[in-house]
Structure 1
C-alpha cells in the first residue's frame, strides 16, 4: 500500500482529456490541483450555463461538503473527489432517485476493483460495515432550468492513521495493494453516466430495474435501524424495503413508516 504521501502521484490528466476513448461520450472533465469544494464550483458553473456532463475533479479537495453541511478534508493524493453537472429531462418528482442511482453506480465501480461493496441508504457506499465513499446531490435552479450537481468522494489510499473516523476505510486498506486513482475515477464516471442515461431513456421499465437492482445492493434493507429525524425525534425499527419512490420503509410496532432521504439526519444500524 502507499503510505508515503510524497509517493502518491497526481491524477493522470492526459487520460481525462476530451476525446479519450476510455471515457463515455458527453463527459467533459476538468482537473484542478486544489479546490475547496467541487460541488460549490459546479453549482457556480451551472448558474453560468455550463452544459450537462461537466465534471470538475479536485486532486486535493480542502473543504469538501457532505449532507447537512458537514465538512471534511482528506490528505492530498488520497481520494477521488469530483462533481458532475446533470440536466435531467426526467420529471423532477423522480429526482430523489439520483443519490441512490449514484450510490449504485459507485458500488459497481468499486466492485470492479475486486471488493464486495454495498450501498447504505441513502448516500454512502460501504465495504463490510465501513464507509468508503459518500455522495451529495444538490438541486440548483438555473436560467436554463433545474439542474442536479452530484458530488462523490471515494477514499482510495488513506492509511489507517489518516481515516477521519474509525467507521471509515479506503480501497487500499481493503485490497492490501496500491490502487490507481485515475482508474477509479474513470470507472466511476462511466458508471454514473451509464446509469443516468439508462434512467433517463428507459422509462418505467428502467425505473423498475433500477429499483430492483438498488434494493438488492442495499445493505440497509433487513437491518434493525435507528433513524434520527430533523425535529429531534428518533424512529427505530426494521428496514424492510426501498419503495418505488426511493424511500426507506421502516417497520416498528406493526406500523410502516416511509422515510425520504431529505427527511433524515442519520440512519444507523442498531
Structure 2
C-alpha cells in the first residue's frame, strides 16, 4: 500500500494485503501493488524476461503515468482514479495459433465483472475494448514475452473507475462513476476483474485453447457490439477498410464484408462503428 500521505478520501490507495488474500488462487500466483509507475505492462514484461516474475504474476498500481494502448497510444489517469493491472499467463499445451484468443477472453472477463458486480450493460468492441453504450470504459493490451522457462503473454487492463468527465482524455470515454455503477471501490472492482478473467482464461486453457469447446467464442460473439455494424477499420500501414462486420471467426479475427468485394478476415486493426446517417424528417 502507498505509505505516503494522501488527501482525497474519496480516492484511497489499493490495499495490497487484502487484495492478495482475496485473489491469490489459480491462475494467480503473486500480486504486487506499487505506488506509482510508468507502465505496469512494461514493468511486468521486464520482470518476466529477467525471470523475476512467473506465470500467474499480477502487477498493479495506484498511479500509472505512461500507460500504453494499441499503436503505442498513451493512457494516463489521475492518481487512484482507475484500475491499471497487468498479469503474465503461459498457455502451456495451447498452440500459438490460438493465443490470439487470450486478449479477447480477457476483455470478455472484464465485461463479466462489470455486468455482475457493477451492474452495467458492458459490451465489447472488437477486439477487446469494453463499452457502455458507445463510450469506452476499458481497454486491453497484450504482448508475447519470453520467460527463461518459456514464452507467455503479458496482458494489461486499463479500467476507468472514478474519473469525472473533465478528467477523461476524450469525449468517447467514460468511467464507472459517470455511468452510475453499483460499485466504484477500486479494490472491489480489481478483485472482481481478476476473478472473472481467471475463470474465462482457465476455461479456455483447460479446453486446449479451443474457443468453441471452452465457451469463450459463443460468449464473446453474443456480447460483441461490432458484429452486424457498419465499420471503418484502420489497418496497419495506414490502410482503411469499410464494410459490414459479419462476425468473428474461430481464430478471433474480425470478418468484414466490404462493398463490392469478398469477406476479409482481419487479425488487427482499429475499429470505428459507423453510425448511419439519420434520414430527414418528413411531414
List runs of 5+ in structure 2 lacking aligned partners: 1-6, 275-283
Q: Which residue of 2 aligns with 1:25?
A: 26
Listed as ranges, the matches of 1:56-71 within 5 Å are 56-71=59-74
1:177 to partner: Cα distance: 6.4
What is the deviation of 1:254? 4.9
Query: Take 1:78 and 1:48, find their aligned partners in 2: how far apart are those partners?
Result: 30
Larger Rg: 2
Aligned to 1:269: 273
Measure, in 1, the Cα distance between the counterparts of 2:122 and 2:209.
27
Q: Is the 8 A contact 2:183 2:189 kept in 1?
A: no
Aligned pairs for 1:197-208 (under 5 A) are 197-203=202-208, 207-208=212-213
Aligned residues: 262
Between the aligned partners of 2:82 and 2:140, the Cα distance in structure 1 is 13
Output the CA distance in 2 between the equivalents of 1:13 and 1:33: 10
Say whether residues 1:48 and 2:55 are aligned partners: no
Does the Cα contact within 8 Å between 1:198 and 1:206 map onto a contact in 2? Answer: no
Alignment of 1:256 with 2:263, yes or no, is yes
Q: Distance in 1 between matches of 2:192 and 2:161?
A: 13
Q: Which residue of 1 aligns with 2:14?
A: 11
More helix by share: 1
Structure 1 Cα separation of the partners of residues 11 and 209 of structure 2: 44
Distance, in Å, in 1 between the alignment partners of 2:223 and 2:181 is 24
Match of 2:96 in 1: 92
Q: Which residue of 1 aligns with 2:36?
A: 34
Q: Give the TM-score taking structure 2 as reference length.
A: 0.88
Report the 3-state secondary structure (helix = DSSP H, G, I; strand = E; otherwise coil) of the residue aligned with 2:35: strand
Match of 1:76 in 2: 79
Rounded to whole Å, the distance in 2 between the matches of 1:230 and 1:63 is 23
- Mapped partners of 2:183, 2:222: distance in 1: 29
Distance 1:178 1:135 in 2: 21
Render the CA deviation track for 1:11-56: whole Å, top value 9, x for unaligned. 1222112xx2555334211001101100011101111222111000
The answer to whether structure 1 residue 161 and structure 2 residue 166 are counterparts is yes
SS of structure 2 residue aligned to 1:139: strand
- Do 2:107 and 2:129's aligned partners in 1 also have CA atoms closer than 8 Å? yes
Note the aligned Cα RMSD (angstroms): 1.7
Matched residue of 2:205: which SS?
A: helix
Structure 2: how far apart are the matches of 1:176 and 1:184? 10
For residues 8 and 104 of structure 2, the distance between their equivalents in structure 1, rounded to whole angstroms, comes to 33
Which structure shows the higher strand fraction? 1
TM-score, normalisation: structure 1:
0.92
The structural deviation recorded for 1:109 is 0.7
* 1:171-190 map, 5 Å: 171-175=176-180, 179-190=184-195
Cα pair 2:101 2:252 within 8 Å, conserved = yes
Instruction: State the alpha-carbon separation in 2 of the partners of residues 142 and 204 from structure 1.
Output: 20
CA distance in 2, matches of 1:174, 1:103: 19
Partner of 2:106: 102
SS of equivalent residue, structure 1 residue 175? coil
* 3-state SS in 2 of match to 1:52: coil
